Amino acid sequence: ESYFYEFPHSSNHFLQTVLPNLKHSLSLTLQHFFPFTGNLVFPPKPQFPYIHYTHENSISFTIAESTAEFPLLIANTATDKEDGTWLFPLIADGRAFYRFMKFWTSYVTKTKCDVASSSQALLPLLNRDIIEDPKGLKLILWKE
């Protein structure tokens, strides 16, 4: 995702006041949305795809300054491994991304205490074990 904002102050002011808060709040937010830093792994069949992330994973956070109007193009392309495994950077659907941005905004504008008490509904549900599959549809659909 790319966002453009007009900042009516000096670059130095941005670097000293706004940027540290953005970086810190993003770090706190990603502790709850950690799959965003991972990859979707497609191993060779018959294995199932899965999300893989480690503490060393990260996301790109780029700040650019310009007086020109220009589009920022970012390409998230798949990586092909030698064994036929494909890695895709994770992309959130609209609802997940909205929750992520809302949660991050809470950290930017509030204290950590306020965020913990008021944003529980925004946290992602990451436990896929609660989804029951008594008819084995996962395997059937994967084979097709």
Cα torsion at 107, 111, 112, 116 (round to 10°)? -90
Question: Which residue has 């706190």 as its token pair?
Answer: 28
The pTM for the full model equals 0.59
- Gap between the Cα atoms of 116 and 107, Å rounded: 9
Q: What angle do CA 141, 42, 61 make, to 5 degrees?
A: 125
Whether the pLDDT of residue 66 is over 90: the answer is no
Query: Which domains can be identified in the chain, with CATH numbers?
Result: 11-139 (3.30.559.10)
User: For 82, left (φ over 0), alpha (ψ -120 to 50), or beta?
Assistant: alpha
**pLDDT (0 to 100) of residue 142:** 78
**pLDDT (0 to 100) of residue 16:** 93
Q: Are 114 and 25 within 8 A, CB to CB? A: no
Instruction: Name the pLDDT band for 70 (thresholds 50, 70, 90).
Output: very low
**pLDDT (0 to 100) of residue 75:** 44
Whether the pLDDT of residue 102 is over 50: the answer is yes
Between 42 and 107, the higher pLDDT residue? 42
φ and ψ at residue 39, rounded to 5 degrees: -130, 150
Whether the pLDDT of residue 64 is over 80: the answer is no
